[in-house]
Structure 1
Amino acid sequence: MSDYQNIRLEYAPPVAKLTLARGDKLNPLNWSTIKELKGAVAEIEGHDDIDFVILTGEGRAFSAGGDLEGYIHLYAHPNEFRAFLNDFFEMLNSIEAARAIWIAAVNGPCVAGGIELLLACDMAVAADTAKISDGHLNFGQLPGAGGSQRLPRAIGMLRAKHLMLTGEMIFAEQAERWGLVTIVAPAAELLSRVDALVRDMQGKSRVGLKGMKKLANMTLFEPYEHGLKLEMDYVHTYATTEPDATEGLMAFKEKRAPAFKGPRSGDWK
């Protein structure tokens, strides 16, 4: 377990569990927490034996969002506020671009900055008691770390505008229908459901998982036609250089479980 003040980071390879650990305050994303999260992402990326990260909150909330009282000071000091935004932006981007698969385990209220954190993850599983809201406009705020761009891509423009313009809080079941989360589990079973999801993915090729994440993320950054070409080039390299690609075919042919071995050398990009 690493030494942080606002978060807990625990390792059980191939899984790391990252917990927002200010449950008494509903796990606010203040600047010090964001800096710790940024450091934790970099730390996890340095562990080649970590393929999955479970991100959750302590107590009854995932995260109630930013530290609104702290913003009073930041708004009066524009250079500090810009540095804060840069840290928040870079932290979320580093999760999105990480080698590991990040899974948000939404255990309770997930609001404003909390939804921005959720949207940077690769998957989201919610407790049936969880509630999710953009919530920025409820206090006259705007998203500043990518939420206005990621939310429409995740659930479509009309639904995203509904959440952003109304600040409405939706229950987990509606979030699932809208595609904001993909699994809803009883609150007492949330982490065990996430663990089962991780165990299922552990049977996949490590290098294939990372490659699939990279391909999916291309849709966020590349024009459609260019993305199609990049996918073709990417799969050509994977299929012709990585043993896992051929191993999967041989396992199918021989009617056995595949024995994936990971990247041929180093970490396949």
Structure 2
Amino acid sequence: MEKTLVEDAAVQNEPSSNGHEHRHGRDAQSVKQQLLNLDRIDFDGVDIAVIRFNRPEQRNPIDKETIASLSELLDLLMAGEATPDAIVLTGNGSTFSAGGDLKGYQTLYRDPARFRRFMEDFEDVCRKLSTVSALTVAMVNGTCVAGGLEISLACDLITMSDGARIGDGHLQFAQLPGAGGSQRLVRAIGVQQAKKWLLTAELYDAATADKAGLIALIAQKEELESRTFELIAKSAKLTPLGRTRMKELVNIAQVTTLDEGLQQELNLVFDYATTSYDATEGLHAFAARRPPNYRGE
């Protein structure tokens, strides 16, 4: 039932087994081995695009083909009018992603120009995940290592199964994180914890990741999807423009000094408060004691 890529916004609706409506896009092109699956789900009125890494027999590697397909799919999802409220990344099988294709790297390293392009494309995908207007969530259903962690760190939120494990792992095979793993992990859990994770290459359970401040929630594996969707719905039902601007504020905090961030916060909030419909609508709805009618503008 799931489709590899989306051709356009035209979808067919059908009920899912849990009572929520599934909307499946049509194929845009043939992708070898169906690297990714896409499922559009209506969860209590919230449009959620679920992207699944789909090579479980290889532990869902993040290679150049996967990166190219994910980049294209993100562009297609965010183009036009029918953009989703949220984008969820997860893995088919028992693994979220075990990271890069180590065998493929042996060839890629011998072609520096191609390797550089791969690194730049990988970081570009991570940048898209962190800056798109939709809420982005890494739903870690199983082992999440190296490149899988880097993609997760680029998302707005990480949710995790209680039986999953997560970590950097690059040094286990004498590799280094090249798609923001070292930079984003430090900002996510602090210098000392990040050094521990990076320099030991160990994997950690959900409770440890939660204690470190990396993840938004832990759930039993059979409840992970529903709990993740419930969390998404809490945010998606708020002002979409306000949510996007809030993401911008958080991103500013990660790339500027405190003084620069405070000045950019002042400028962004002033513009939002004085020019957006949603900011004024929120105040009017509060005063009138009625539900707000946000427009995302």
SS in 2 for 1:28: coil
What secondary structure does 2:97 align onto? coil
Taking structure 2 as the reference length, the TM-score comes to: 0.85
Q: Give the structure 2 partner of residue 37 of structure 1.
A: 70
In the TM superposition, 1:162-201 aligns within 5 A as 162-201=196-235
User: Superposed, which structure 2 residues align to 1:73-112 within 5 Å?
Assistant: 73-112=107-146
Superposed CA offset, 1:142-183 (max 9, x none): 111111111000000000000100011100111011011120
Q: Give the corresponding residue for 1:23.
A: 56
Structure 2 gap ranges (5+): 6-26
- 1:149 matched to 2:178? The reply is no
Question: Given the alignment of the two structures, is residue 11 of structure 1 paired with residue 43 of structure 2, yes or no?
Answer: no
Shift of 1:232: 1.0
Distance in 2 (alpha carbons) for counterparts of 1:203 and 1:16 = 16
3-state SS in 2 of match to 1:188: helix
Q: What CA RMSD, in Å, does the superposition of the two structures yield over aligned residues?
A: 1.3
User: Within the alignment, does 1:229 sit opposite 2:258 as a pair?
Assistant: no
Q: Quick one: distance in 2 between partners of 1:203 and 1:75? A: 46
Alignment match of 2:273 (pick from 239, 244, 259): 239
Establish whether residue 54 from structure 1 lines up as the match of residue 83 from structure 2.
no
Q: Identify the range of structure 1 (242-251 vs 112-121) with the bigger mean alpha-carbon deviation.
A: 242-251
TM-score, L = length of structure 1: 0.94
Question: What's the counterpart of residue 267 of structure 1?
Answer: none
Tell me which residue corresponds to 2:168.
134
Instruction: Please give the alpha-carbon distance, in whole angstroms, between the structure 2 residues aligned to 1:82 and 1:259.
Output: 47
CA distance in 1, matches of 2:161, 2:277: 39
Deviations 1:58-86 (A, max 9, x none): 11011000000000001111111111111
Q: Which sits farther off after the overlay, 248-257 or 96-105?
A: 248-257
Deviation at 1:102, TM superposition (A): 0.3
2:9 paired residue number: none
3-state SS, counterpart of residue 65 of structure 1? coil
Q: How many residues align?
A: 263
SS in 2 for 1:99: coil
Which residue of 2 is the match for residue 123 of structure 1?
A: 157
Structure 2 residue 254 is the aligned partner of structure 1 residue 220: yes
Aligned pair in 2 of structure 1 residues 196, 167: CA closer, same or farther (>3 Å)?
same
Counterpart secondary structure, 1:229: helix
Distance 1:56 1:170 in 2: 18
CA distance in 2, matches of 1:243, 1:72: 53
Equivalent residues of 2:150, 2:181 under 8 A apart: yes
Structure 1 residue 221: Cα displacement: 2.0
**CA deviation string 1:243-268 (max 9, x = no partner):** 211111122222222222221xxxxx
> Within 2, Cα distance between the matches of 1:203 and 1:93?
24
